[in-house]
Copies of this chain bind each other. A is one copy, B any other.
Amino acid sequence: MSADAQLSARMDPACPMAAFPFHVGGKWTGMVVVALLDGPRRFGHLRQVLGVSSAKVLTETLRDMARDGLLTRTDHQANPPHVTYELTDLGRSLLPVIDAMREWSDQHLADLLAHRQNHSLATESDAAPTPSSPPK
């Protein structure tokens, strides 16, 4: 399975960052890591795959990550411009943590969202029995 497919499958709107209790750096940092797992990628490619709206945001994310040694920026000095970004070992070192987040998400995110849902309805009325997730 390609990293791009993983991205769509695991980090798509169905599992929104909004409810996700973990973040890596900025909003897009974690996704950039995943998107670069298969090798160098171009700016435009990242922009499409991540679905990042504004170019500015992606530029900032990538610059910060380069500054922190998480990836390298390669300007191929071509015209039209051709720039690629590639994960460093340090960048790849984030993967176990990201995977830990994903594993948590697989196992517990639905539970968290159920609690949140439940809470909106019955702020104090009854005991609000846990809607899903019987304790293992």
Contact = CB atoms under 8 A, between A and B. Distances in A.
Interface of A: 21-25, 29, 66-70, 89-90, 93-94, 96-97, 100-101, 104, 107-108, 111-112, 114-116, 119, 130, 133, 135
Given A22-B24, A23-B22, A100-B100, A93 B108 contact: yes
Contact of A70 (B29, B68, B100, B112): B112
A116 B68 contact: yes
B21 A68 contact: yes
30 contacts: A21-B25, A21-B29, A21-B68, A22-B22, A22-B24, A22-B25, A22-B97, A23-B24, A66-B119, A67-B116, A68-B112, A68-B115, A68-B116, A68-B119, A69-B111, A69-B112, A69-B114, A69-B115, A69-B116, A69-B119, A69-B130, A70-B112, A90-B108, A90-B111, A90-B115, A93-B104, A93-B108, A97-B100, A97-B104, A100-B100
